[in-house]
């Protein structure tokens, strides 16, 4: 579906179902240089199990117009405006990486509008290697190669997808290659410059699920320790042998954890 948010045309995947005002809603928020497609399995499941699903392409990503935001707080504000555009008062939010930080900030600053949050691959802070930032600023393909190498655990770089016919690392790189110039750089700036993650976590009052990859190099589990401690009502799931790309490396485990938490 398409919706106008702040004068900008935005795309959200709904799992092939119309939005029903009588049903609770779940908003899925992708990470840096990704789009709605990273939630394919999870979003479609909930769309067919009594939930409105809105797997959104944030501005400057996927099928949405506009420029990519360069701060987490701006993305969080945009998520609130997205709810306004759809006349949705309250929703559950699921975010990955940069999307997780944006969901966290949204929940801390708009508690009445967030029923639950699931944070996949969060880190507070979320440092970005200078070599990666410089490559992204120059729109150098090296940035995509570095992210692909760091995102997947060593075992999953060899293949073995749970979804037949899926080349995990190849698909991830093709997705980034389709992004617009400057989008990755803005995304990485937002990750690097967000220093309020622990304080935001302390302000969250809704139930929270945190999902970590045991072998995550992009957002090591240790970097989420203080954030997790600050959350008042939380559940933590660590996926063994998994890197940062949780939804691709362990799609069924991610779905199972989200299903238990959200349903």
Burial (0-12, 13-18, 19+ Cβ within 10 Å), 202: middle
Burial (0-12, 13-18, 19+ Cβ within 10 Å), 203: middle
- CA 128/CA 192 separation, integer angstroms: 6
For the stretch 95-152, pLDDT in tens is: 999 999 999 999 999 999 999 999 999 999 999 999 999 999 999 999 999 999 999 9
Which CATH number belongs to the domain containing residue 65 in this structure? 3.40.50.1820
For the stretch 214-257, pLDDT in tens is: 999 999 999 999 999 999 999 999 999 999 999 999 999 999 99
User: In sequence order, which ranges of 86-177 are alpha helices (DSSP H)?
Assistant: 98-109, 130-137, 142-151, 154-157, 168-177
Would you call 87 helix, strand, or coil by DSSP?
A: coil
Q: What percent of the chain has pLDDT over 90?
A: 94
DSSP-derived pairing of the beta strands 91-96 and 114-120: parallel
For the stretch 175-202, pLDDT in tens is: 999 999 999 999 999 999 999 999 999 9
- Angle, alpha carbons 122-137-32 (nearest 5°): 25
Would you call 210 helix, strand, or coil by DSSP?
A: strand
Q: How many domains does the chain fold into?
A: 1
- What pLDDT is recorded for position 157? 87
Full domain range(s) for residue 240: 2-262
Q: What are phi and psi of 95, to 5 degrees?
A: -135, 150
- pTM here is 0.97
Q: Give me the residue label for tokens 């309020």.
A: 196
Would you call 219 helix, strand, or coil by DSSP?
A: coil
Q: What is the distance of C-alpha 112 from the center of its chain?
A: 21
180: CB partners within 8 A, 6+ apart: 60, 61, 68
- What pLDDT is recorded for position 73? 98
- What pLDDT is recorded for position 122? 98
38: CB partners within 8 A, 6+ apart: 30, 31, 96, 175, 247, 248
- What pLDDT is recorded for position 164? 76
């Amino acid at each position: 579906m398409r919706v106008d948010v702040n004068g900008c045309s935005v795309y959200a995947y709904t799992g092939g179902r119309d939005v029903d005002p009588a049903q609770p809603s779940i908003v899925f928020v992708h990470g840096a240089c990704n789009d709605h497609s990273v939630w394919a399995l999870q979003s479609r499941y909930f769309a067919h199990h009594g939930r409105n699903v809105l797997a959104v392409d944030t501005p400057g990503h996927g099928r949405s117009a506009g420029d990519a935001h360069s701060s987490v707080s701006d993305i969080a504000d945009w998520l609130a405006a997205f709810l306004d555009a759809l006349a949705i008062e309250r929703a559950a939010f699921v975010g990955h990486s940069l999307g997780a930080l944006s969901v966290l900030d949204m929940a801390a600053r708009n508690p009445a509008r967030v029923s639950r949050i699931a944070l996949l691959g969060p880190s507070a802070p979320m440092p970005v290697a200078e070599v990666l930032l410089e490559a992204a600023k120059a729109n150098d393909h090296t940035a995509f190669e570095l992210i692909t190498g760091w995102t997947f655990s060593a075992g999953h770089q060899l293949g073995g997808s749970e979804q037949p016919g899926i080349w995990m690392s190849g698909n991830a790189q093709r997705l980034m290659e389709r992004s617009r110039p400057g989008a990755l750089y803005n995304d990485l700036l937002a990750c690097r410059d967000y220093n309020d993650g622990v304080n935001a976590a302390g302000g969250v009052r809704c139930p929270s699920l945190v999902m970590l990859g045991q072998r995550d190099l992009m957002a090591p589990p240790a970097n989420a320790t203080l954030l997790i401690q600050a959350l008042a009502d939380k559940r933590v799931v660590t996926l063994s042998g998994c890197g940062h790309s949780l939804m691709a490396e362990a799609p069924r485990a991610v779905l199972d954890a989200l299903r238990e938490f959200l349903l």
